[in-house]
């Protein structure tokens, strides 16, 4: 499969929400898309000089077998929601922009836009054709969202929880 280089670097998913790969962290891309906040959904990515220009959260997702992605998905979705409510442009990035960043955005769409997994995935896939969450992440997304919905966790608060926050620590898987 051959990708258009610019389209594989960064894709606009909605008004102020973007998904990108490691190349999307370049200064000129951040500037051209007026990015204010960044979700680093992968290990090995650092904001570098962007940390001075943008707020960011590092989820350090690894794709390793048995990784507990639930708390990371919640933290990423809450960060996105908080920044979008503040009229900020948000970039969610991982190394290839195909699985981890896509999974965080799908989780956000399910939790805050009340979409089903299929509808959230279809929206992301339409805007970012290379989106391809791996099976363990798909299962993790569904389990995480089901848990939040079944326990009626309040995700409407404006604060972004820390790793030790009771909400994120209660999420299983």
Tens-place pLDDT, residues 66-107: 889 999 999 999 999 999 999 999 999 999 999 999 999 999
Measure the CA–CA gap between 4 and 140, rounded to whole angstroms. Answer: 30
Sign of the torsion angle spanned by Cα atoms 167, 94, 145, 112:
positive
Which residue in this structure is represented by tokens 């992440």?
Answer: 137
Interval 118-140 mean pLDDT = 96
**What domains does the chain contain, in order, with CATH numbers?**
12-170 (3.90.190.10)
The C-alpha R_g of the chain, in whole angstroms, comes to 15
Q: Phi-psi region for residue 34, left (φ > 0), alpha (ψ -120 to 50) or beta? A: left
Which residue in this structure is represented by tokens 């919905």?
Answer: 149
Measure the CA–CA gap between 78 and 81, rounded to whole angstroms. Answer: 5
Assigned token pair, 109: 């769409």
Interval 32-55 mean pLDDT = 85
Average pLDDT, the chain: 85
Out of 5-9, 57-61, 157-161, which region has the weakest mean confidence (pLDDT)? 157-161
Give the three-class secondary structure for 13: strand
| Strands across the sheet containing 55-58 | 10-14, 17-20, 90-93, 37-40, 55-58
Examine the pLDDT at 127 and tell me if it is beyond 80.
yes
Interval 55-61 mean pLDDT = 93
Which run of H or E residues covers position 20?
strand 17-20
Paired with 14 in beta bridges are 17
């Amino acid at each position: 499969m051959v990708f258009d280089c610019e389209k594989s670097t960064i894709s606009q998913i909605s008004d102020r929400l973007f998904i990108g790969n490691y190349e999307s962290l370049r200064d000129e891309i951040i500037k051209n898309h007026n990015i204010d906040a960044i979700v680093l959904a992968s290990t090995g990515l650092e904001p570098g000089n962007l940390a001075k220009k943008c707020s960011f959260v590092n989820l350090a997702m690894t794709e390793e077998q048995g990784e507990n992605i639930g708390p990371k998905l919640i933290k990423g979705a809450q960060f996105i929601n908080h920044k979008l409510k503040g009229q900020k442009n948000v970039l969610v990035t991982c190394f290839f922009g195909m699985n981890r960043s896509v999974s965080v955005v799908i989780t956000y769409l399910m939790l805050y836009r009340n979409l089903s997994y299929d509808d959230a995935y279809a929206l992301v896939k339409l805007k970012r054709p290379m989106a391809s969450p791996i099976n363990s992440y798909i299962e993790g997304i569904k389990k995480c969202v089901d848990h939040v919905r079944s326990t009626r966790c309040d995700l409407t608060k404006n604060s972004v929880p820390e790793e030790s926050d009771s909400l994120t620590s209660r999420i299983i898987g």
